[in-house]
Amino acid sequence: MLAKFPGRCTQCQGPIRPGEEIVGAGGGSTAWVHAACGDDLALPGLAAPRATPSRTPGATAADRSAGKGAGRARTPRAPKAPMSAPAGATYVYTDGACSGNPGPGGWAWAIDRDRFASGSERPSTNQRMEIRAALEAITALSGPLVVVSDSTYVVNCFRDRWWEGWLARGWTTSAKKPVANRDLWEPLVTAVRDRGDVAFQWVKGHSGHEMNDLVDELAVAASLARD
């Protein structure tokens, strides 16, 4: 389903924006995760519901204390460390936007205010444009790169190597469903694997970061431009 309100993904801790695809975290929880985080939850990284020790009539406090550790869920995995930047890497900032979801979409990448590109896709979605922005940057630019994106969908795919599971399962998720946006993911994954000199880093969106704000403006303008 699509998020109606802003929130935070309980799997990657990244922001959930209105219009993004989300799924329930499961286990009776009312929490939500990005659709891509849900693809590879099995659900890794999320604790299962904690079992409550039964309180049999007449049980003493000592009896209950002795059973405190029984049935506890495993500790959630610690967030993975950011990817290391390749030596001599150029930092390129990417973003995607969509007027409606689906609706007219725009993507953009920029190294600085003099070197950038943008484009559009109609119709599209927010997630497609985030992937497209990264793909366009990697296709256009040679040499070691660090792709900086505010999309956990894009960054975590490579930081957490989700793509390895997708390939092993024939481009299906752990839930045996086709990977969404495969037409963009497949060339992006192939390019990153073949090059071996691309890393991804996350930046918080709409936080006053100069380059993230620039590519956001470029992507929004591309999504609204008339052909």
User: Active site includes 216?
Assistant: yes
Catalytic residue among 45, 96, 106, 119: 96
- What DSSP character marks residue 154? H
Respond yes or no on whether the N-terminal peptide bond of residue 102 is cis (omega within 30° of 0). Answer: yes
Write out pLDDT tens, residues 171-197: 999 999 999 999 999 999 999 999 999
**193 belongs to a structural domain:** yes
Q: Which residues contact 135 (CB under 8 A, 6 or more apart)?
A: 184, 187, 188, 191
Q: Is residue 104 part of a domain?
A: yes
User: Which of these is catalytic: 20, 95, 121, 160?
Assistant: 95
Question: CA dist 222 to 118, 164, 225, Å?
Answer: 6, 32, 5
User: What CATH number did the domain enclosing 187 receive?
Assistant: 3.30.420.10
Q: Which residues of the chain register pLDDT less than 50?
A: 27-28, 40-71
State the catalytic residue, choosing from 121, 130, 136, 160.
Answer: 130
The tens digit of pLDDT for each residue in 27-59 reads: 445 667 666 666 544 433 333 333 333 343 444
DSSP H/E element including 216: helix 210-224
Is residue 121 domain-resident? yes
19 neighbors 34 (Cβ within 8 angstroms): no
| pTM for the full predicted model | 0.69
pLDDT of residue 22: 73
- Provide the percentage of residues in the chain whose pLDDT is more than 90: 61
Q: From 49, 48, 44, 50, select the one nearest 79 (Cα to Cα).
A: 44
84 inside domain: no
Query: Domain range holding 185?
Result: 90-224
50 found inside a domain: no
Residue 45 lies in a domain: no
Is 86:145 a contact under the CB 8 Å cutoff? yes
96 is catalytic: yes
**What is the number of domains present in the chain?**
1
- State the catalytic residue, choosing from 20, 40, 136, 150: 150
The verdict on residue 57 lying in a domain is no
- Residue 156 placed within a domain: yes
pLDDT for 1 equals 56
206 part of the active site: yes
- The torsion region of residue 176 among left (phi > 0), alpha (psi -120 to 50) and beta comes to left
Cα angle 151-121-189, degrees, rounded to a multiple of 5:
50
Q: Is 213 a catalytic residue?
A: no
pLDDT of amino acid 161: 95
Two structure tokens written together for 100: 């409606």
Q: Which of 27, 63, 164, 206 is catalytic?
A: 206
